[in-house]
Amino acid sequence: MNKFYLKSSMLALTFGMISTAATAQETNDQEVHDHGHDQDVVFVTASPHVKSRFDVLQGSSILSDKELDESIAATIGETLSNLPGISSTYFGPGSSRPVIRGLDGDRIRVLINGIGSIDASSTSPDHAVAGDPLTAERIEVIRGASTLLYGNNAVGGVVNIIDNRIPFYVPEDGISGKIRLSGDTVSNDRSGGGVLNLEIADNLVMHVDGYFRETDDFDIPGYAESLALREMEEAEHEEHEEEHEELEEDHEEQFGTVENSNISNKGGTFGLGWIGENANFGFSVNLNESDYGVPGHAHHGEEHEEEEEHEEEEHEEHEEEVVRINLDQKRFDLKGDIQQDFLFFEETRMRFGYADYKHIELEGDEIGTTFTNKGWEGRLEFVQKDIDNIHGSMGMQFRKRDYSAIGEEAFVAPNDTFQWGVFAVEEIEVDNVTLEFGGRFDRQKTENKALNIDRSFNSVSLSGGAAIHPTENDLIGISLSRSERAPTPEELYSDGPHLATSAYELGNLNLGTEKAISAELTLKREQGRFSGSVNLYHTWYQDFIFKEENGDEIDELHVLEYNAQDAKFYGAEVELDYTLISAENYSVHLSANGDFVHARFNDDSVVPRMPAASGSIGLDYISEYFEAGTDIRFVGSKTKTAEEVLPTDGYTTIDLSATWRPLGDEQDLNIRLQALNITNQERRQHASYLKDLLPMPGRNFRLTLNYGF
């Protein structure tokens, strides 16, 4: 606990010193407020009532425009992984979900325009999110418990990908759109996306978008296997040297390139929206297809136990059985808003999404396992009329999932899950203080079709907070929440070998709801040349659900069993931005961010796969026609790890970028050249199950073109 207070105090002190210095140097040039300052940035995910990011109590981030163009990667996890408090489950370029404050999987809700992605991505780290950031208009992130609005599965945070697939505004001059094209050297990436919004009749807008992404196997600085793993394997080999003195290596170590890491993605959307004076309605149809390799699983070492004369034949056969995933999703969405008085309400909002999802895991040319998920989700919200200084909303949410896995890796029996919930949130404004409070009730029923058993759970979540504005440029936020999460079907019913974890996973029918009490302190300042924020948080879990080895083996695989144990998480995030120079024709900006998360069980053992502490420093030059920038990122090592988890080395990377706007600021056309990881550092995500088999890409030069109209 002392370390938490020490680290948190240092972050808060740094924030205070820099913001005080910035205030002392404040000038009357208010135009410098444009870069990095978010008083006027609209945030729609955090509350039913539109807010600026400055007024959001929890840790939050928005990627749009320039920041989104610079960050876009093949997966949503990698697109967000450099933001404070966010890492990724990195399972290669084809599959990567966000890790927020050390939490991933079902504890993080990935939304598309406010409705879940309706795929299988939360069930396993090798399952991709159905979609690609290439057609996104903006991405909003809430760090921390968000259970009141989005259900008991959002205890770790929410990622909302907003792409305007159902148009909600009439474009200026009747047409708008954007084109993104990109290529790189590390994987020979060829990718592009396009969006078109067209008014085809009075108040009727058509939306069309599409994307494609093709890559080869990506390059790495050295060996695919980490030094720690190679040393461990060498020690094991020496231990059995007398028994296998004639035995050759059972596989060739990959060096310089990660085999089976190429991807091929494509998709598109058609939508229509009618935008009236007091109402709007619309629908969209979306198709996603993806074919990607799952690297790191082409060998398991069983050949050591085979007879020598059969080893070469079996090794060649095993090498041919690379694992790939072929994904297909068809999705339909509806949306409606009515701004008309009804009883105590002034607005009614409806959202609905249905998806038919399927992916096939191929082992060589053979079908290994087929996963399907037919599901839907709907939300109905009622925004209350303001009563003096009180405003709020209430609503209900429904989710249905019909999930099955058939084949060799069917580690979860087919199951049906139905969830429904009701919620209410209120805000009271008193002078310079805004009080926020709310509550939510959820009911979940999960049925195991194979065993003909079911489990039902009720959960109650409550939250309260206060946003205090000592001045119009400062915010002190205090928030408390008590949340509950029902266990997932995977946590209850797993019973089979799982490729992603290289283990036999075993569920636990005795699991109950996971309870958490969270506290968060937020400090923000936006004044003159300076903007910054610090978030300090602490969460106490009762019956935190996790996987641990129980000492057994099934089919030569270690058994990972789901259990529950009390735990505590705490950490901090800081973001700073300062305008060093604000001249008539150019400006220079200095930025910095950092984060850490500390997670322990109550017996002081380490919670597995917690991200390392990280931070970055950036310097940007901006003029009408040209931009240039550099970013230095630091990621710490992880030496205190859970049992059976090897330590992970830290690293430092340097990125450079240059952007040319040939038509100046008046037109949204730019050509950007980025040099990423220019020192070719070996980088590994400690939060990834594949961290010792799969490093992140090496040195990369990326060229992108963005044009908006």
- Count of C-beta atoms within a 10 Å radius of residue 333: 24
Joined tokens for residue 446 = 């999960």
Q: Alpha helices of 25-58 — where are they, by DSSP H?
A: none
**What is the number of domains present in the chain?**
1
Of 5 and 456, the structure prediction assigns the larger pLDDT to 456
Joined tokens for residue 613 = 């502490």
CATH number of the domain to which 579 belongs: 2.40.170.20
State pLDDT tens for residues 628-643.
999 999 999 999 888 7
Inform me whether the pLDDT recorded for 250 exceeds 90: no
Least confidently predicted of 18-22, 343-347, 558-562 = 18-22
**38 pLDDT band (50/70/90 cuts)?**
low
32 vs 14: CA distance, rounded Å: 22
- Count of C-beta atoms within a 10 Å radius of residue 659: 21
Inform me whether the pLDDT recorded for 475 exceeds 80: yes
Inform me whether the pLDDT recorded for 308 exceeds 70: no
Q: Is 320 exposed, middle or buried (0-12, 13-18, 19+ CB in 10 A)?
A: exposed
Of 49 and 647, the structure prediction assigns the larger pLDDT to 647
State pLDDT tens for residues 361-385.
988 888 889 999 999 999 999 999 9
Instruction: For residues 103-128, give the mean pLDDT.
Output: 91
- Dihedral sign of CA atoms 197, 200, 203, 207 in order: negative
- Count of C-beta atoms within a 10 Å radius of residue 577: 23
**450 pLDDT band (50/70/90 cuts)?**
confident
- Dihedral sign of CA atoms 108, 547, 418, 444 in order: negative
User: DSSP letters of 614-665?
Assistant: EEEEEEEEEESSEEEEEEEEEE--B-S--TT---B--EEEEEEEEEE-TT-T
Q: What is the predicted pLDDT for the residue at 309?
A: 42
**239 pLDDT band (50/70/90 cuts)?**
low
Q: What is the predicted pLDDT for the residue at 460?
A: 95
Q: What is the predicted pLDDT for the residue at 320?
A: 52
**240 pLDDT band (50/70/90 cuts)?**
low
Q: What is the predicted pLDDT for the residue at 241?
A: 62
Of the candidates 293, 492, 371, 328, the residue with the CA atom closest to the CA atom of residue 124: 371
Whole-number percent of the chain with pLDDT over 70? 89
- Domain residue limits at 415: 2-708
Instruction: For residues 438-461, give the mean pLDDT.
Output: 93
Q: What is the predicted pLDDT for the residue at 158?
A: 93
Of 303 and 279, the structure prediction assigns the larger pLDDT to 279
The rounded mean pLDDT for the chain is 87
Of the candidates 352, 354, 190, the residue with the CA atom closest to the CA atom of residue 286: 354
Joined tokens for residue 513 = 């709801």
User: DSSP letters of 460-481?
Assistant: EEEEEEEEE-SSTTEEEEEEEE
**297 pLDDT band (50/70/90 cuts)?**
low
Inform me whether the pLDDT recorded for 146 exceeds 80: no
Model pTM above 0.85: yes
Joined tokens for residue 109 = 């809700």
In the chain, how many H helices and how many E strands?
Answer: 7, 35
Q: Scanning the structure block, which residue is given the tokens 């800081």? A: 574
The answer to whether residues 477 and 520 touch, using CB atoms and an 8 Å cutoff, is yes
Query: What is the DSSP-derived secondary structure letter of residue 302?
Result: G
Q: Is 66 exposed, middle or buried (0-12, 13-18, 19+ CB in 10 A)?
A: middle
Inform me whether the pLDDT recorded for 9 exceeds 50: no
Q: What is residue 121's three-state secondary structure? A: coil
Q: What is the predicted pLDDT for the residue at 46?
A: 77
Q: What is the predicted pLDDT for the residue at 20?
A: 45
Q: What is the predicted pLDDT for the residue at 697?
A: 96
Residues 6+ apart with CB under 8 A from 67: none
Instruction: For residues 589-598, give the mean pLDDT.
Output: 97
Instruction: For residues 345-359, give the mean pLDDT.
Output: 95
Q: What is the dihedral of CA 48, 149, 479, 686, to 10 degrees?
A: -120
Q: What is the predicted pLDDT for the residue at 55?
A: 87
Inform me whether the pLDDT recorded for 338 exceeds 90: yes
Residue type at 474 in one-letter notation: D
Q: What is residue 166's three-state secondary structure? A: coil
CA distances from 601 to 289, 410, 481, 536, 621 (A): 40, 30, 20, 20, 45
Of the candidates 146, 144, 160, the residue with the CA atom closest to the CA atom of residue 597: 144
The answer to whether residues 155 and 101 touch, using CB atoms and an 8 Å cutoff, is no
The dihedral region occupied by 573, where left means phi > 0, alpha psi between -120 and 50, and beta the remainder, is beta
Instruction: For residues 242-248, give the mean pLDDT.
Output: 48
Whole-number percent of the chain with pLDDT over 90? 67
- Cα–Cα–Cα angle for 445, 446, 450, rounded to 5 degrees: 145
Q: What is residue 127's three-state secondary structure? A: coil
Find residue 107's DSSP bridge partners: none
Q: What is the predicted pLDDT for the residue at 591?
A: 97
Q: What is the predicted pLDDT for the residue at 40?
A: 65
State pLDDT tens for residues 177-187.
999 999 999 99
Q: Scanning the structure block, which residue is given the tokens 């009080």? A: 435
